[in-house]
Structure 1
Amino acid sequence: MPSLPLSDLRRATSVAAPTRGPSAASRSAPQGVPEGAPGGAAASGERAPTRIRVRAPQDLASGLLIAAFGLSALWMGRDWPTGTLASVQSGFFPRMIGTLMVLAGAVVAGRSLLVHGPALPSWNWRPLAGVTAAVLAFAGTVETLGLVPAVLILVALGNLAGQPLRPGPLALLGGVLAAGCVALFVWGLGLPLQVWPLQVWPLWVSP
């Protein structure tokens, strides 16, 4: 049997060898991306979106709560006249205090994005729900029922936020707070607040 030259033998072997799939270079290249081309965000020049990172969650929650109380004060005194610095009227102090609370809340909330602080503790929803319900009830009844009933409702709902008081101490606390609010806001600052419901007392208590 005549022997084939070495070159013919190599050629015959390469033709007879089966194709074993794509090369290693083609297997390593990602689908849909040409070999050697950079992929991902580097190819399009896009940057990953910047996320706002809260460094002090407790300060953020405190700032938002302070700002919410300030906005509530501004909303309650929206119809009261402010007057001037020479002649201060009933709406001056509520608006000033509400504005300062909103600014203070914004500063505290903004600080939480810059300075590291403690994280939020585990939530106890009963105090939060009780205080929120008490504040909303006071804001919704002070103009319709009067200052004294609104304060009593505030004390009753706020009592549910923590360790409940007995009826006797609770009634004493509500009476003292109601009398103090009348003395401070109506007699002291002269705010035009209705003290009792219109059916009981048609005018607010004048000093």
Structure 2
Amino acid sequence: MSDTPSEAPVRSILPKWIRGPQDFIGGLAMMAVALFALWASSDLQGMHGFSFGAGTAPRMFAVLLLLLGAGVALVGVLQDGPHLSHYSWRGPLFVSASIVFFALAIRPLGLVVSAFASFLIAAMGSNETKWLEAVVVGACLTAGCAILFPYILGLPMPMFPRFLIQ
């Protein structure tokens, strides 16, 4: 069996005028994120004269992302490019689960427990994870966060679970 990919024709559900499907779909995804950001920042105050409002930067970055996405999608129409490849959902799924866990656990469990656990949840996103290394790196990052946020930045946040402090 050969290691080179086969040159068999790839069947696609996309129209023939899309020459680079991966670029085209990626550009559309970027444009969708930009449109969501524009919608989400629509309630924020904008720019008045030379003073920036809370919504100025998000809208500027969203417009830039929209233009870049349109450019990438246009490249997918004008130039030959790769076909859609298989997408692995494991990494984004576990990283998203880690973020949600941290957001829900920071108050009841404190920074130390929730940061360490969320790091280990995110580490499950790869099948190449070496768990001893992940535990060591997670402990070091957690210690850094425990020093940085409450002491250097002065942010008031619980360090340990509520049931241990009472």
Q: Distance in 1 between matches of 2:33 and 2:106?
A: 26
Partner of 2:120: 156
1:127 is paired with a residue whose SS is helix
**Following TM superposition, where does structure 1 have runs of at least 4 consecutive aligned residues deviating by more than 6 angstroms?**
none
Change (3 A) 1:142 1:109: same
Q: Distance in 1 between matches of 2:131 and 2:88?
A: 24
Partner of 2:97: 133
Whether 1:59 and 2:15 are equivalent positions in the alignment is no
| The one of 74, 89, 106 aligned to 2:62 | 106
Tell whether the 8 Å contact from 1:64 to 1:105 is kept in structure 2 after alignment. no
Tell whether the 8 Å contact from 2:146 to 2:159 is kept in structure 1 after alignment. yes
Partner of 2:72: 116
What one-letter code is carried by the residue in structure 2 that aligns with 1:128?
P
1:172-183 map, 5 Å: 172-183=136-147
Q: Distance in 1 between matches of 2:109 and 2:26?
A: 44
Task: Report deviation, 1:186.
Answer: 1.1
Task: Report deviation, 1:129.
Answer: 0.6
Deviations 1:121-177 (A, max 9, x none): 542111111111011101110111101111111111111111343332121111111
Partner of 2:49: none
1:10-49 map, 5 Å: none
Task: Report deviation, 1:57.
Answer: 2.7
Once the two structures are aligned, what percentage of the paired residues are identical? 24
**Structure with more of its chain in helix, by fraction:** 2
1:195 is paired with a residue whose SS is coil
Deviations 1:11-33 (A, max 9, x none): xxxxxxxxxxxxxxxxxxxxxxx
Structure 1's unaligned 5+ residue stretches are 1-52, 72-95, 203-207
Q: Distance in 2 between matches of 1:64 and 1:149?
A: 36
Change (3 A) 1:104 1:127: farther
Change (3 A) 1:187 1:130: same
1:161 is paired with a residue whose SS is coil
Tell whether the 8 Å contact from 2:30 to 2:69 is kept in structure 1 after alignment. no
Structure 2's unaligned 5+ residue stretches are 1-23, 42-53, 77-83
Q: Distance in 1 between matches of 2:62 and 2:93?
A: 23
How well do the aligned residues superpose, as a CA RMSD in angstroms? Answer: 3.6
Task: Report deviation, 1:64.
Answer: 7.7
The count of aligned residue pairs is: 121
What one-letter code is carried by the residue in structure 2 that aligns with 1:177?
L
| The one of 146, 153, 159 aligned to 1:189 | 153
